[in-house]
Amino acid sequence: MLIESLNPATGEIIGQVESTAVNQIGRIVSEARIAQSEWNAMPLNSRGQLLRKFGELLLSRRKIVAELMSRENGKPVVEAYTSEIIPALDFVKYYTGKSRKIVRRRRVKIGIPLLKTKKAFVRYEPLGVVGIISPWNYPLMLPLGQIIPALMAGNSVIFKPSEFTPLVGGLIGDFMWEVGIPKRVFSIVQGGAEVGAALVSSGLDKLFFTGSTVTGRRVSEAAAKTLTPVSLELGSKDAMIVLADADIDSAASGAIWGAFMNAGQTCVSVERCFVDEKIAGQFIEVLRKKTAALRTGAGTESGTDIGAIIHKAQYDIIRRHISDATSKGARIVSGAEYTEEGGRHFVKPTILADVPMDCLLMKEETFGPVLPVVEFKTEREAIELVNASKFGLSASIWTADSKHGLEIACKVRAGAVTVNDVISYYGISDGVVGGVRESGTGRVHGREGLLEMVSPKYYEVERAPRMKKLWWYRYDDALLSFFETATDFLFFKDIFRKAGSLFKLAPKILRIRKS
């Protein structure tokens, strides 16, 4: 069966790929497991060298990649660079440069005196076969943020791109194989939900899923049947708090970019904006003026700011959320203009004020170029409004007092909180991305992202193998008395009781007999 890739800005077919047969998934996993042993046996530096070549190839063909992403995803070409290519290249640089230090063997210090004859250490070993199911909104950056550390750690990877961006996904595979990474070490399966479901139940050693909370829940339930560990990056309703002392112009610019970038189809986009009532009127007016200057159109056209909506289903969700909000009293400040013809779907960047908290726009992920603004009276109220959401991926605080901003950030329930900026942290290789509550589990990027790809294994060597241990059989009153006194010595803080128990230990140990 062929999967057709459509340009969301024009509706035209730009390419086709063959869908992977569901009955082939088991074989692909088995072959990946065999290949993983040889891949892991390769020195880490050698794996890094191949991945650096992948980065060099991506860099040399960046214009081709950017153009394809714009045509297949709908985003402006400039965003293909800023939010995809540049972060992806930095992932390569980061993980090929720092993985050895992060996963090197770690010596374990043993604190209990009776166990000092042991030498122990922890090694971080690859999981085996890692599955990565990635979405359409960032078809390069999102998967490579997991693929690169997975391969560096010595795993084999089976990657399923979104059926809406199969060409970009396929290009990742082409580049990997061209630089010499074996096809069984890095495999691609193409297809829709049925292929994803087969991969989830195929016996992977770990699965990484990025997508909606609804689908993530189903993935987690299916993976539980085989006890497959799952890392989930799911939906969100990211909030922005604008305090009265914030720079209004800067905060407004951050708000509209954070809400409208990639046509709002971003998991960490600003989907709720809470503004101090003292500046709300002025802030909304600045938002209106800045939004009026934005141009909606095909991402491949020069000067386009807001690209197409990926497909009709997402377009319908956006319209429904706006309609629901206005029916409950929300006021349209700008936008709420729609284009749907010939497979093309566009939504003009939309700002709404006086938005009630019980509407879909404030409760469910919209994933579109829509910015609802809500006024608050006190900081406590703002924090309570932010934390009322079932989601918790990221948030931002805007204030002239960065120290105070960090104090508020500590009270916000989210996986990441920024002060006076939005979204950009996602592209920082040494940062950490992940949600709480219904926004998911697990972490990507940075040290934590690499540690998600390995299993810590404990090793211990007894350096006095002929010595019989005091806690071995047989148990008697002498042994009990010794360990009662040893417990006092080890854990009492009072120096006199500690010294007294030490004085009693010597004669007690002489009464112990081991068989």
Residue spans of the domains in the chain: they are 27-234+447-457, 239-431, 468-510
User: Helix/strand/coil (H, E, C) string of 312-332?
Assistant: HHHHHHHHHHHHHHHHCCCEE
* 319 close to 325: Cβ distance less than 8 angstroms: no
The residues assigned a catalytic role are: 233, 267
DSSP 8-state code for residue 110 = P
* CATH H superfamily, domain 27-234+447-457: Aldehyde Dehydrogenase; Chain A, domain 1 (3.40.605.10)
> By CB neighbour count within 10 A (0-12 exposed, 13-18 middle, 19+ buried), where does 251 fall?
buried
pLDDT at 363: 97
- For every residue of 204-268, DSSP letters joined together read -SEEEEES-HHHHHHHHHHHHTTT--EEEE-----EEEE-TTS-HHHHHHHHHHHHHGGGG--TT
For 266, list phi and psi in degrees, rounded to 5: -140, 135
Tokens of 311: 């497909």
pLDDT at 470: 87
pLDDT at 510: 72
Q: Which CATH number fits domain 239-431: 3.40.309.10, 3.30.420.40, 3.40.50.10800, 3.30.450.20?
A: 3.40.309.10
27-234+447-457 and 239-431: identical CATH topology: no
Positions in the chain whose pLDDT score sits under 50: none
> Which residues lie closer than 8 Å to 280 by C-beta, 6 or more apart?
353, 373, 375
* 452 close to 231: Cβ distance less than 8 angstroms: yes
State pTM to two decimals: 0.94
pLDDT at 514: 65
pLDDT at 418: 98
